[in-house]
Amino acid sequence: MVQHTEHPRSVTFPNNDMSQFGKGLSHFQHDFLSSGLFTDERLARLIERYPREYYMITTMTQQGQKPEWRNGDLNGVSGEYALEAIRNGRLWLCLRRFDLIAPEYDDLVADAFAQIESMNPGLTTSGHKSSLLISSPGARVLYHADIPMVSLWHLRGRKRVWLYDPNDKTHLPDEVLEGIMLRETEEEIPYDQSWDQTAQSIVLEPGYALSWPHNAPHRVDNLEGLNVSITTDYFTPETKRRYGVYYTNGLMRRRLGVKPRSTSANGIGAYAKCAAALAAKKVGVKAATERSMMQTFKLNKEMPGALIDLSPAEQQAITQY
């Protein structure tokens, strides 16, 4: 068991209706920067602490090119070099599972969630898993949807977050969402630029945070500077049931050839599907096409931001816990 360390306590300062946290869109302020944990020096040391099985480094395409999302390896570089590579490249580094690796960062988020719940009687959240995202100026996160609910705590740089209606089946068909729940894909889904006309677009400044509706498709454009954010996965009782419903619907469609008729997270049927999803997970039932993540590049140690592409023979599956 990792012992959590003392640090300056975080405080959230809501500037909108926090009653929407855990349900709809919530945009508010936080005080994480006062902790001193997000300087270049502290970030470099944090990167060097991370075991391979708890980080992901990814590259993505420039706007207008064919979408591409590739996974790689830091190639043993120092934390300082990794930050320089991200500044000069088109990279996205995710340091996962603060609760296991970086408890001083995990405590910031835990404090904030405790305060948010105290402001919202009846709100219960669970399954918190936080990660640090460090990404290049001009980098993009492609259109995708997440399995859990997500809160994004922004710290450095500026980014634009585009949010789309999760109840619009054009944006997110049921079969596509089922595939995400079953981990058949890496969460990226088909995107049409015309959907931006009805999307919500929010510029996220340092010291602000967002949380949005469960499974809402979204994408992100970095606007300037090295971007640093914390992302926290979490669930509410209702979103746990929604996950169970879509997971079971996906198994029914793929393994039994049955077209599910209901996606409701309420009622006896929803609870039955949640029980079925739990049972399926316990006995190891899964979709036959569950994807694996492959390492296809590594950082170039001689040129910050440049990549070394791996041949098919050199590529390997990435183990993540």
> 50-99: per-residue pLDDT in tens?
999 999 999 976 545 566 788 999 999 999 999 999 999 999 999 999 99
- On whether both 38 and 160 belong to a single domain, the answer is yes
Model confidence at 191, in pLDDT bands (50, 70, 90)?
confident
Predicted local distance difference test score (pLDDT) of residue 2? 37
Predicted local distance difference test score (pLDDT) of residue 205? 94
| Residue indicated by tokens 């469609």 | 253
Model confidence at 162, in pLDDT bands (50, 70, 90)?
very high
Model confidence at 289, in pLDDT bands (50, 70, 90)?
low
Predicted local distance difference test score (pLDDT) of residue 245? 81
- How many whole angstroms separate alpha carbon 310 and alpha carbon 316? 9
Examine residue 169 and state whether it is found in any structural domain, yes or no.
no
At residue 187, does pLDDT exceed 60?
no
Count of domains observed in the chain? 2
Q: Which of 139, 108, 142, 126 is nearest to 9 (CA)?
A: 108
- On whether both 62 and 157 belong to a single domain, the answer is yes
Examine residue 218 and state whether it is found in any structural domain, yes or no.
yes
- On whether both 179 and 95 belong to a single domain, the answer is no
> Who wins on pLDDT, 221 or 62?
221
At residue 298, does pLDDT exceed 60?
yes
CATH number of the CATH domain containing 53: 2.60.120.650
- On whether both 72 and 220 belong to a single domain, the answer is yes
The dihedrals phi and psi of 30, each to the nearest 5 degrees, come to -140, 170
Domain assignment of residue 241, given as a range = 174-185+236-290
Predicted local distance difference test score (pLDDT) of residue 266? 77
Arithmetic mean of pLDDT, 175-190 = 78
- How many whole angstroms separate alpha carbon 7 and alpha carbon 290? 40
- On whether both 179 and 241 belong to a single domain, the answer is yes
Examine residue 1 and state whether it is found in any structural domain, yes or no.
no
Examine residue 311 and state whether it is found in any structural domain, yes or no.
yes
Arithmetic mean of pLDDT, 184-199 = 82
Arithmetic mean of pLDDT, 289-308 = 86
Model confidence at 291, in pLDDT bands (50, 70, 90)?
low
- On whether both 71 and 219 belong to a single domain, the answer is yes
Predicted local distance difference test score (pLDDT) of residue 283? 66
Examine residue 264 and state whether it is found in any structural domain, yes or no.
yes
Examine residue 4 and state whether it is found in any structural domain, yes or no.
no
* Span 170-181, pLDDT tens digits: 888 888 888 888
Arithmetic mean of pLDDT, 229-241 = 94
Predicted local distance difference test score (pLDDT) of residue 186? 60
Arithmetic mean of pLDDT, 27-39 = 94
| Residue indicated by tokens 């599910």 | 260
Examine residue 3 and state whether it is found in any structural domain, yes or no.
no
CA distances from 87 to 67, 173, 231 (A): 21, 36, 20
Predicted local distance difference test score (pLDDT) of residue 62? 54
pLDDT > 90: what percent of the chain? 55
> Who wins on pLDDT, 71 or 249?
71
- On whether both 243 and 309 belong to a single domain, the answer is no
Arithmetic mean of pLDDT, 289-303 = 84
At residue 277, does pLDDT exceed 70?
no
- How many whole angstroms separate alpha carbon 13 and alpha carbon 40? 26
- On whether both 204 and 284 belong to a single domain, the answer is no
